[in-house]
Structures are given as structure tokens and as C-alpha cells.
């Protein structure tokens, strides 16, 4: 029997092999962007959660480059409804931006390292600011479906961490501070943009669980006791790798359903997708106000 190598992890993707795959994915994306000079050096990236593909309409009509996740080396493609599974490059107020339209979720069978491989590849192109979005259940009793929540803080209760294993020293430090993972200045700008847009903005703590099952009533009571305001099955692992690379992060949750222990009936994915457009329209209005402040012009 072959001896287990020190630092080996269950999915076999770690250390130098992980770094090699990130670099190959990044090289492929860089080559695709090189054909359009204005898009070659992106500085901002957005991850679009369920039902948020409309954010792409905030970009200039041209130039655009679209890359299917399945065409990028080593990148898993999402098969979840509501996730397009493509990388869109475009301009917003003269600044090149990458949109990750959809994500591969760990509950689909991918490790956190696999699920964040594309993000790490994109960030390595020079991204300095990341905006993450998701659909989430409202643990806070005051939240209603259709609300937009500015993520002030997060808890990782998924049982996994994408930074587990040998540290990729070229990317960042071994021990990553997460006290203010969601940038204070960017959050202030988001509040101001929400006010200008007339969007009532909630604010709170997002919790990531492993899924794919939704929470039991006992788990919802636990989350409320822990101080959670919203619960979902993504995002925190992405914030971890972004902060590992020194990238500033801003985050939003679309509240698609009640997630309180006394809620009536049971939540399902169809309900999540149905409520998504309501919150998505509000978030798009907010981002329309925020983008000129976020990306004030060509770099």
C-alpha cells in the first residue's frame, strides 16, 4: 500500500498540484481576455448567486467576453438551477470587471478547494475588490422574502475550509485574519448607495452550512441563538480565499424565504428561485448607484 504523504487531503488537490491548476485556469482566462485589450486587466469581480444574472446588464453592451466554466481547465461547472455557469468580462464606467455568473457549490460534491479554484484564478489576474452575492434564508424574524441584506460578518459552519492543507505562500499568509472580512469602507459606500436608490437595506450576519438539505427547526433555533441573521450554502469559502489573497470584500444576501423555527410549511428550491427576482431587482438598483463610486474610472 502506498504510504500517505504528509499533508495529503481526501480530494488529492492541495499544495503544488492545487497551485498548478489555479495557474493553468488563470492562464486560459488571461488568454481569452487578451483578445480584447480593454478587458485584459480586470480589477473588480462579482460572484452572482441564484437569480442574479441580471447584474450583467449593468455592464456596457460592448466589449464583452463570455467563457463557459466547462471550457476553463480544472474548473467545475455548476448544475444548479439559477446558475448560468459562465465567466463574463466587460466594462463598467471604463473599468474592466469580471462577473462569475453562478458558482459550483460544495454540496454538489466539490471540495472547498475545487469550488474556489476559478475564483482564485480570477483574483490572481489582479482583482483587488470582490463583491459576493447569494440567496439566503432569513433567520432574523424581522427579515422578509425579497429583502436585501448587507453582510456585516459571517460564520463558517460548513465543516470545511478551502485554506486547509499546505499554504500557498505565493497567494497569502498561513493564518488569515477574518475579524473585518467585509470591508468597512465598502459597506459604508453600499449603505449610501442604497439610500440614493431608495432600497431598504438590511444588515447582519451570514452563516454558511454544508447543505444540500435545508435546516431543521432545531438547527434554526441554534442559528438564532448564535446570532445569525441569514443562512445559506455558499459564499464564506469564497471570502476566505479572497481575504487570503488580500482582496477587499463586499457581500449581499437576497432573503428568499423565512428561516425561523416557527415558520409554516417547508422551504424548497423553487420558492427560492421564485422570490429571487424581487430581491435581485432591488440589488441591481443598489449596484447601479454603487458602481460609479466603486469603479470611478479606468485604472
Instruction: Quickly tell me which residue has 470582490 as its cell.
Output: 130
Asked if 46 and 98 touch (Cβ cutoff 8 Å), the reply is yes
| Contact status, residue 263 vs residue 190, Cβ threshold 8 Å | no
The distance between the two most distant Cα atoms of the chain, rounded to a whole number of Å, is 64
Q: What is the pLDDT of residues 68-92, one digit of tens each?
A: 999 999 998 766 554 468 999 999 9
| pLDDT 10s digits, 88-105 | 999 998 899 999 998 999
Rg (CA), the chain: 19
Angstrom distances, CA of residue 266 to CA of 146, 217, 261, 269, 270: 17, 10, 11, 10, 11
pLDDT in tens, the chain (299 residues): 343 344 445 667 888 999 999 999 999 999 999 989 999 999 999 999 877 778 888 898 889 999 999 999 999 876 655 446 899 999 998 899 999 998 999 999 899 999 999 999 999 999 999 999 999 999 999 999 999 999 999 999 999 999 999 999 999 999 999 999 999 999 999 999 999 999 999 999 999 999 999 999 999 999 999 999 999 999 999 999 999 999 999 999 999 999 999 887 676 667 666 766 778 899 999 999 999 888 765 44
Judge whether 272 and 164 are in contact, CB under 8 Å.
Answer: no
Secondary structure (H, E, C), the chain: CCCCCCCCCCCCCCHHHHHHHHHHHHHHHHHHHHCCHHHCCCCEEEEECCCCHHHHHHCCCCCCEEEEHHHCCCCCCCCCCCCCCEEEEEEECCEEEEEEECCCCHHHCCCHHHHCHHHHHHHCCCCCEEEEEEEEEECCCCCCCCCEEEEEEEEECCCCCCCCCCCCCCCCCCCCCCCCCCCHHHHHHHHHHHHHHCCCEEEEEEEECCCCCCCCHHHHHHHHHHCCCEEECCCHHHHHHHHHCCCEEEEEEEEEEECCCCCCCCCCHHHHHHHHHHHHHHHHHHHHHHHHHHCCCCC
- The pTM (predicted TM-score) of the whole model is 0.92
Query: Could you tell me the residue ranges of all domains in the chain?
Result: 15-294
The owner of cell 428568499 is 256
Residue the block writes with cell 485584459: 40
Class of domain 15-294: alpha beta
46 within 8 A of 55, measured Cβ to Cβ: yes
Amino acid at each position: 500500500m502506498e504510504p500517505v504523504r504528509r499533508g495529503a487531503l481526501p480530494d488529492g488537490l492541495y499544495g503544488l498540484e492545487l497551485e498548478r491548476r489555479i495557474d493553468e485556469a488563470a492562464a486560459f482566462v488571461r488568454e481569452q481576455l487578451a483578445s480584447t485589450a480593454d478587458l485584459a486587466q480586470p480589477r473588480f469581480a462579482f460572484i452572482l448567486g441564484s437569480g442574479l444574472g441580471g447584474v450583467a446588464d449593468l455592464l456596457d453592451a460592448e466589449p464583452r467576453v463570455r467563457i463557459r466554466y466547462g471550457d476553463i481547465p480544472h474548473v467545475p461547472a455548476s448544475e444548479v438551477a439559477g446558475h448560468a455557469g459562465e465567466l463574463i468580462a466587460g466594462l463598467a464606467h471604463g473599468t474592466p470587471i469580471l462577473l462569475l455568473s453562478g458558482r459550483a457549490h460544495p454540496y454538489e460534491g466539490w471540495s472547498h478547494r475545487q469550488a474556489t479554484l476559478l475564483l482564485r484564478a480570477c483574483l490572481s489576474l489582479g482583482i483587488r475588490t470582490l463583491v459576493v452575492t447569494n440567496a439566503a434564508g432569513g433567520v432574523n424574524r424581522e427579515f422578509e422574502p425579497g429583502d436585501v441584506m448587507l453582510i456585516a460578518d459571517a460564520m463558517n459552519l460548513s465543516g470545511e475550509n478551502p485554506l486547509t492543507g499546505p499554504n500557498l505562500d505565493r497567494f497569502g499568509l498561513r493564518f488569515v485574519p477574518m475579524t473585518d472580512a467585509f470591508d468597512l469602507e465598502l459597506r459604508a459606500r453600499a449603505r449610501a448607495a442604497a439610500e440614493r436608490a431608495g432600497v431598504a437595506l438590511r444588515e447582519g450576519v451570514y452563516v454558511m452550512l454544508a447543505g444540500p438539505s435545508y435546516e431543521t427547526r432545531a438547527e434554526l433555533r441554534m442559528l438564532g441563538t448564535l446570532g445569525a441573521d441569514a443562512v445559506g450554502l455558499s459564499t464564506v469559502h469564497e471570502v476566505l480565499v479572497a481575504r487570503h489573497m488580500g482582496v477587499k470584500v463586499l457581500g449581499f444576501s437576497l432573503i428568499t424565504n423565512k428561516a425561523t423555527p416557527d415558520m409554516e410549511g417547508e422551504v424548497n428550491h423553487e420558492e427560492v428561485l421564485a422570490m429571487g427576482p424581487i430581491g435581485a431587482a432591488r440589488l441591481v438598483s443598489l449596484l447601479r448607484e454603487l458602481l460609479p463610486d466603486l469603479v470611478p474610472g479606468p485604472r
